[in-house]
Structure 1
Amino acid sequence: MFKKIEIWILYLIVFLGIPITIGFGVLVRQELIGSTKLGRVSKTALFLAEIPMNLKKIFLSNQLQVAGERFPLLDNFNGTPNSSESYLLLSRYDRDLKEGIVELVDLMNFKVLHTWNPDINKFNDSVKQSGEFKYLNRDGNNSRFLLRHPLLLKDGGLVFQDSSPLMKIDECSNLIFQNTQDRFHHSIETDIDGNIWVPSYMYPQTLPVEKVGRDIVEENGYIDDGIVKLSPNGEVLFEKSVSQIFIDNNLESLLFSSGDYRFVKDPIHLNDIQPVDFDGEYWKKGDVFLSINSQSMLILYRPLTNQIIWHGKGPFSRVHDVDILDDYRISAFHNNYKFFVNTNVVDGNNEVIIYDFNTNKYSTYLEESLVENDVRTKTNGRSQILPNGDLFIEETDFGRTLYFDSDGSLRWTHVNRADNGNVYGIGWSRILYTPESIKIVKNFLEARGKCND
């Protein structure tokens, strides 16, 4: 049936295959981390090496299913509802719909009051699929899109993104605006004037081409994180490259002086912008706090003067979600994620840290509660310390949300489990507890119209 192959031919194939394989590996390595690129040759080698990964992205249907099973007995909400009025904008992947949705949940009874389910594919059709949006349909279609960090505005619009254009929809999930100036990512916050602050991937990159090139993020390009301020109508009012801010404030060495002597394409990884809404001893209205994940650093930046007023590195690793607690303290969630010789792990558990500007000291908040409940998302994650001392946590990688009373006891959890028994992704849900946010919710519920299903 099969013809015999001469043994010398087999030896020749093996003999030639070894140097070809080594050479191919060298080209891929050179394109990824080498100081000297080899143009189309190394780019082509990398393209071929990434074919399996790209096929996985294209054909894997359950990419929003979380890995592993850590909570076999937990499903949906479990525990005691909140005793005071509060709500949750729960961003989650609905396995039955095979789409991302946002649910407005009353935390006093866990009832869903409203659901948003926009047609992302329809929104994508109006975006030119080139440049930074080259892979928008592949990576950001209905079945792969989470409505990340949803924000309910005073006018009843819901703002969200997912490394995508910034979108605003009405109560019936109809598109109000879609800002395509850049791809927006991670957090969405508002300031006291109602303006919206969101990180972006600035493209083309603002730094010189000879320093960072012009490849897009998905093709191993330099991630030029930007601070963006937009009006409630989606008009860009301010945008600034964080890399350029580092350069302007004599911190360029943190961008281009990696310890292992290679070009780092994600030296910033901006994941939160927290506007300052009042003057204080340590900051002014109009300042913003920045969470810089790749540097494990918190920054107080003044856009008016382009100055870094303060930056802190402390007992935390891979920081997320900086919040202002009062006129002298801030808090942040950190993953405690570290890279060791043979692995990368959460070194223990996630933590919520507090920095006191008066004493220049860091402390942890409800540390034992996070250990007891084994909170350990490698990436992402959110925290919010409420005025009464309660603590809200999102353990993003595992589809779990937790709420602790001020004494550290676990009040309730939510696990995004589907009817098939699997747990699916969540997308930076937002707890609403301030008088202003509660008023926004009530006004929304009273004013919303009837939607056509």
Structure 2
Amino acid sequence: MNRPVPLWALGLVVALGALALLGFGFVLLAPRKHGALGALAVQVASIPDTVGRAVGELLPYRPSIGQPYEPLPGGLWRRPGFVDPGYILVTVFDTAQGRWVVQLLRLRDGQVVRRYAPDIAAIHAQSTFHSALVDLARDKTNRRFMPMHPLLMSDGGLIVHDTSPLTRIDACGRPEWMIDGIFHHSLERASDGTLWAAYRLPRTARPGLGPQFADEGLMHLTAQGKVLARISVIDLLDANNLGYLWRARPYSDDPIHLNDIQPVPGDGPYWRNGDLLVSLRNLSLLLLYRPSTGQVLWSRGLPWRFQHDVSVLDDHRISVFDNHWRFAWDQPEQAEPDGTNRMLVYDFATGAVSAPLAATFRDLNIHTRAQGRATPLPGGDTMVEETELGRVMRLAPDGSVRWSYISADAGRNRFELRWTRYIDPLADKIGIQAAENARCE
């Protein structure tokens, strides 16, 4: 170790290292053009991410995505005198077990009446897909699996996913069926009891696109796990002369980013039963789509920017959780809400857009860079989820807070949420009772 090194040798090592680094960067610019060498370069470049994931496994909780927040006590706060008869399905981090679980929480008293913690690793062991988008064994372990937008079923069980296969479990967490693939974001029930789920192909078969390209689709299925239809987002855009919206932009592996499929509740002057409202985040685009004919009946981009969660308010109005991004297209890591998020209301009858809760969003500083939900509730109330900052609340039409729930541990470290779902005490009565009464070994 103490042997002298000639200066020329040191210079040669530095020069060769610089050339190797430049060559490595050149290969990474277009890895698909370099075959096995390109694949190896991608593997090497991903080492820091792999190390980061391994370190993340050791953390006691997953903090918000780089955002400062006010440390607050976790749990449910209720405004005195207001009684909510409903429930929420909320994904929380169980610090004792070191994993994410789903809780069915009763809002009138804050009691957890059912807790779901399936052995998701054992369920995923049945999966056969391989993808550069997700590695189930690495990314979706029992510790890291964060059930997103869980759906309560009539037997008290759930359907869950997390950029992973779609899985139905019973009230005790035992699997009933699994649809292999990459399911993400929303899962919604139509008026006929069938379901609509967002998914991505493990790898696109379209020419000229990279292995990490997000080829999005809408899946129609039954509650028993039978697939009724698969609809490609790219194909439906192309068929309706909207393909230019993503094809004319600089290349991106995620140009569309499907995040919500909302079935309309029935016939109305602007839609028919079976139609879907579809949100495409990275196009800041909403669609009214008719699967029976393949026709886009209506589309609009802006004033919402990188929106989430489109919902039906009545027979002529919809609401949109608008993340309200201010960002540079080529530097998405700099994305930031322009002030706060917004809940916008679009009126099909007039074409007008309003923001009825604008003052409340400012006063409460509702500010999640990604995700976010605004769910219409009975009586004109709205349940708003500030996903990254772990806060969900019920707002009255005048903007007052009827209750709020914060996901945090005893040290007031706040956790992300995963699209909390409001459970109606009448519409979901059978599922609630089954969940409450289930006896598990």
TM-score scaled by length of structure 1: 0.90
Q: Does residue 355 of structure 2 align to residue 337 of structure 1? A: no
Mapped pair 1:440 → 2:440: no
User: Partner residue of 1:307?
Assistant: 295
Q: Which residue of 2 aligns with 1:56?
A: 52
Q: State the distance in 2 between where 1:24 and 1:131 align.
A: 23
Partner of 1:272: 260
1:275-318 deviation digits (Å, cap 9, x = unpaired): 12311111111111101001011101111111111111121111
Secondary structure in structure 2 of the residue aligned to 1:60: helix
CA distance in 1, matches of 2:303, 2:67: 29
Equivalences for residues 39-438 of structure 1 within 5 A: 39-61=35-57, 62=59, 64-66=62-64, 67-80=66-79, 82-128=82-128, 130-131=130-131, 135-180=135-180, 182-205=181-204, 208=206, 210-212=207-209, 215=211, 221-258=212-249, 262-340=250-328, 343-433=334-424, 435-437=426-428
Does the 8 Å contact 1:64/1:144 carry over to 2? no
- Tell me the distance in 2 between the aligned counterparts of 1:229 and 1:132: 25
User: Separation in 2 of the partners of 1:329 and 1:22?
Assistant: 55
Deviation, 1:351, is 0.7
Unaligned runs of 5+ in 1: 216-220
The answer to which of 106-115 and 75-84 deviates more is: 75-84
Encode CA deviations 1:49-76: one digit per residue, 9 max, x unaligned.
Answer: 1211122123422373324551223322
Deviations along 1:60-106, one digit per CA (max 9) or x if unpaired, are 22373324551223322234274241111111222221122111111
1:129·1:135 contact (CA, 8 Å) conserved in 2? no
Distance 2:173 2:416 in 1: 21
- The worse-fitting range, judged by mean Cα deviation, of 238-247 and 36-45 is 36-45
CA offset at residue 177 of structure 1?
1.1
Matched AA of 1:70:
Y
Deviations 1:385-407 (A, max 9, x none): 22322221111111221222221
Residues of 2 paired with 1:39 and 1:223: CA distance? 21
In structure 2, give the amino acid aligned to 1:54. Answer: T
In 1, Cα distance between equivalents of 2:42 and 2:367:
33
After superposition, the Cα gap between the structure-2 partners of 1:144 and 1:319, relative to the gap in structure 1 and judged at 3 Å, is same
1:253 Cα deviation from its structure 2 partner:
1.4
Kept after mapping to 2: 8 A contact 1:96/1:418: no
User: Tell me, what secondary structure is at the counterpart of 1:274?
Assistant: strand
Higher deviation after alignment, 151-160 or 161-170: 151-160
Q: Distance between the aligned counterparts of 1:107 and 1:154, measured in 2?
A: 20
Whether the aligned pair in 2 keeps the contact of 1:157 and 1:171 (CA below 8 Å) is: yes
Aligned-partner residue type, residue 386 of structure 2? E
Q: 1:389, 1:406 within 8 Å by CA — same for their partners in 2? A: yes
Secondary structure of 2:231's aligned partner:
strand
The structural deviation recorded for 1:38 is 3.0
Q: Is the 8 A contact 2:308 2:371 kept in 1?
A: yes
- SS at structure 1 position matched to 2:427: helix
Q: Using a 3 Å threshold, how does the CA distance of structure 1 residues 377 and 236 change in structure 2: closer, same or farther?
A: same
What is the SS of the residue equivalent to 2:2?
Answer: coil
Contact 1:351 1:365 in 2 (8 A): no
Residue 267 of structure 1 deviates from its aligned partner by 1.5
For 2:88 and 2:133, the matched residues in 1 are separated by 31
Query: Aligned partners of 1:291 and 1:311: how far apart in 2?
Result: 10
One-letter code aligned to 1:80: R
Contact between 2:370 and 2:388, CA under 8 Å: does it hold in 1?
yes
- For residues 13-49 of structure 1, the C-alpha deviation after alignment (integer angstroms, 9 at most, x for no partner) is 2233333322322322334xxxx83333333222211
CA RMSD of aligned residues (A): 2.1
Aligned to 1:218: none
For structure 2, the residue ranges without an aligned partner over 5 or more in a row are: none
Residue identity opposite 1:190 in structure 2: R
Letter in 1 for 2:19: P
Judge which range, 343-352 or 355-364, deviates more. Answer: 343-352
- TM-superposition CA deviations, 1:234-275 (whole Å, max 9, x none): 1101111101111111112122211xxx42221111111101
Deviation, 1:442, is: 4.3
> 1:449 — aligned with what?
438
